[in-house]
A and B are shown apart, each in its own frame.
Chain A
Amino acid sequence: MDCYGCCALVACSICFFIFLYRFIYLIKLGNPKDLSQKRGNTSKAIKYSFTEAMLPQNKESAYLHLPTYIAGVLFHIGTFLTLLTFVCLIVFSFVDITIPPIVRQIAAIILIPAIISGFSVLLKRVFSKELKIISGPDDYISNLLTTSAQLFTAICLVFPDSAPAYYIVMTLFFLWLPFGKTRHLLYFFFARYHLGYFYGWRGTW
């Protein structure tokens, strides 16, 4: 592994340990200590919160904004694939395994709609009057870095010689991930949990 790869690996490790620390911290803080008489089933509601409540027909943010919702889903699939690809490239570089070209090309093709979605969400933020008002540098940086990470992952998969540029982008991406709004990678799951817990306690879900 060259020095670019090492930088990306160090950045990834920093990112991982920050998230791990926050994860342990959140687990240690635990559930709200609610002293009211419980009315519903919190376990059932937490499950509902992660499943049915997420379906597009149950959320205005999805069914009233279907193109944005679909773009968001594709963008997030692309992000997970980007992270997975990075892990594979790093692990395989240590054990001297090469990813077959056909797998690389398929992964790159899957990333294309994610990249388009990322850019379109970014353009929406730039041109929508309302979104522009509620946005700050974090919103643009987070989107740009994530979309760039996907783009350079796709390029690197097809053109392995572009690895240095890919690792530089991934380094920046990993260093930003725990500090920008991209940290919802961790907090999203806790937010859904608390939502289910709240509604479950009261018997709403």
Chain B
Amino acid sequence: MVTLDKAKKDKAIDILRTESDSKLVTHLNSCVRCGLCAESCMYYLALKEPKFIPSVKVNLVSSIYRRYCTFEGKIAPTLVNARELDENMAEEMIDVLFGGCTMCGRCVKHCSIGVDIPFLVRKGREMLATMGLVPATLQSTVDAAVNTGNNMAIPTDEFVGTIKWLEEDLVDEMQDEKARIPLDEQNKEIFYTLNPREPKFFPLSISAMAKIFYAANAEWTLSSKYYDVTNYGYFSGNNEEATIIARHLYDEIHRLHGKRLVLGECGHGSRANRWEGPNYLKTEYDFDTITVVELIAEYIRSGKIKLDKSLNKEIFTIHDPCNLVRNGGLMEEIRFVVNSAVENLVEMTPYGKDNFCCGGGGGALAMSEYNDRRLKIGKIKADQIANTGAKIVITPCHNCVDQLTQLNHTYKLGVKIMTISEVVANALIIERQ
């Protein structure tokens, strides 16, 4: 049972009083509860519970705003649907804002008004974080990143060992003693980052990217300590911790004098660093920040790498990570890279900006208490994949890879899940250096 004291409540409500710009006050006042957003939400579609209708999520936050921050809410709360922030309300918020929304933003595009629903859900999460009510599982992921530099708490020795082993494999595969996976090298063009799931569970995706860098003759490096592209502080709603995590990469690229921060295949990590990071740190970055998708596209366009599509003959489909496509503007770029690397691409229905989330976003993969819900809502994605008839699903996001792998097993899809670098690496024409 949640317990709240006045100080905690006041701090939470203060978040809604923030007046740095007109965005928050606009969205808090815009929803008309028409309910037409319901079918845009995969939680509602899969579970058919009204509490998952996006306007309900908005109303959890905006009703508190009305109660404490508006004249009408103070004098006639019932009339204007204003609610107290009490223990019951906080529990509802935890269940729905953490456990019933991946912040994918699909509802935003389809909202009849244009309310930024995940923005308000994030505000609700900020309120819960201020009151110390982040689910323990998600908080432990954030703590690991804050305390160890990566969200899986991989010791540096273990990480370095994995990289050295992968480097030896790369030398063998490229038959070139000069093939490298550089660590902690200074003044390199590219400071590359990883999702910690890569060294832990998917080391071959690091090899794939190393092959692409090798083929492009790129000057790059990884950091042995701060390579983690993820930022679960974005999901937990704790801005102080999100800032600490964002600062890891910011300080490390400066320490190594890197010129470009290249964000590995991670949707929310790309968002947290590319779009949110400078705002967490309250500074414009003095280096370029791009995603690995954009870098690979750049290599293909400039002829730095050459691809042979015939090396990827199967039927492929793309799962668009919400934070890279709808919230990151990379729909065309992803398709340019994939179409350059595979022969047969079949799109899902719907796809691109209308695509459904895999179900693993919003920190859902880290919150094991909602595993059952997560796999149920994933049925929508599983059906989408099955309907394409594709044998391989490409997605430039390791969180999505993890969820899709579980959906593949749960719904017996019989497909292979690959990252974009793996698909591109398969199609590489290697010119010996």
| A interface list, Cβ under 8 A from B | 26-27, 29-37, 39-40, 49, 53, 59-62, 64-65, 68-69, 72, 128-131, 133-139, 141, 179-181, 183-184, 187-188, 190-192, 194-195, 198-199, 202-204
Which one of A39, A134, A190 has the highest number of Cβ atoms from chain B below 10 Å of its Cβ?
A: A134
Q: CB-CB < 8 A to B78: which residues of A?
A: 136-137
Produce 1/0 per residue, B324-358, CB < 8 A to A: 01111101000000000000000000000100000
B110 contacts A59, C-beta separation under 8 Å: yes
The smallest beta-carbon distance between B334 and chain A, in angstroms, is 13
B40 contacts A190, C-beta separation under 8 Å: no
Q: CB-CB < 8 A to B109: which residues of A?
A: 53, 59
Bound state CA distance, A203 and B295, in angstroms?
A: 16
- Using A72-B112, A134-B35 as known contacts, say yes or no to A36 and B30 having CB atoms under 8 A apart: no
B53 contacts A191, C-beta separation under 8 Å: no
Q: Is B171 an interface position by the 8 A CB rule?
A: no
Bound state CA distance, A188 and B33, in angstroms?
A: 13
The smallest beta-carbon distance between A73 and chain B, in angstroms, is 10
Interface size for B (C-beta < 8 A) is 59
The smallest beta-carbon distance between B256 and chain A, in angstroms, is 20
Bound state CA distance, A35 and B289, in angstroms?
A: 12
B278 contacts A198, C-beta separation under 8 Å: no
Q: Is B372 an interface position by the 8 A CB rule?
A: no
Kindly list 13 other residue pairs between chains A and B, CB separation below 8 angstroms, not including A64-B36, A68-B36.
A26-B25, A35-B283, A35-B284, A37-B289, A60-B110, A61-B34, A61-B40, A61-B110, A62-B112, A68-B34, A133-B50, A141-B79, A181-B31
- Pick the contact of A138 from B34, B81, B288 — CB < 8 Å? B81
Q: Is B21 an interface position by the 8 A CB rule?
A: yes
26 contacts between A and B (CB under 8 A): A30-B22, A32-B21, A32-B23, A36-B274, A36-B277, A36-B278, A36-B285, A36-B289, A37-B274, A59-B109, A60-B36, A60-B39, A62-B36, A68-B34, A133-B50, A133-B56, A136-B80, A137-B79, A137-B80, A181-B31, A184-B31, A190-B22, A191-B116, A194-B116, A204-B328, A204-B331
A134 contacts B22, C-beta separation under 8 Å: no
| B interface list, Cβ under 8 A from A | 19-23, 25-27, 29-40, 50, 53, 55-56, 59, 71-72, 78-81, 108-116, 274-279, 282-285, 288-289, 325-329, 331, 353
Q: Which 4 A-B pairs have the closest CB atoms?
A: A203-B329, A136-B81, A61-B36, A35-B278
Q: CB-CB < 8 A to A53: which residues of B?
A: 109, 114
Bound state CA distance, A30 and B114, in angstroms?
A: 18
Interface of A is mostly: helix
**Nearest A-chain residue to B274, judged by Cβ:** A36
Bound state CA distance, A34 and B282, in angstroms?
A: 9
- Pick the contact of B37 from A61, A128, A139, A204 — CB < 8 Å? A61
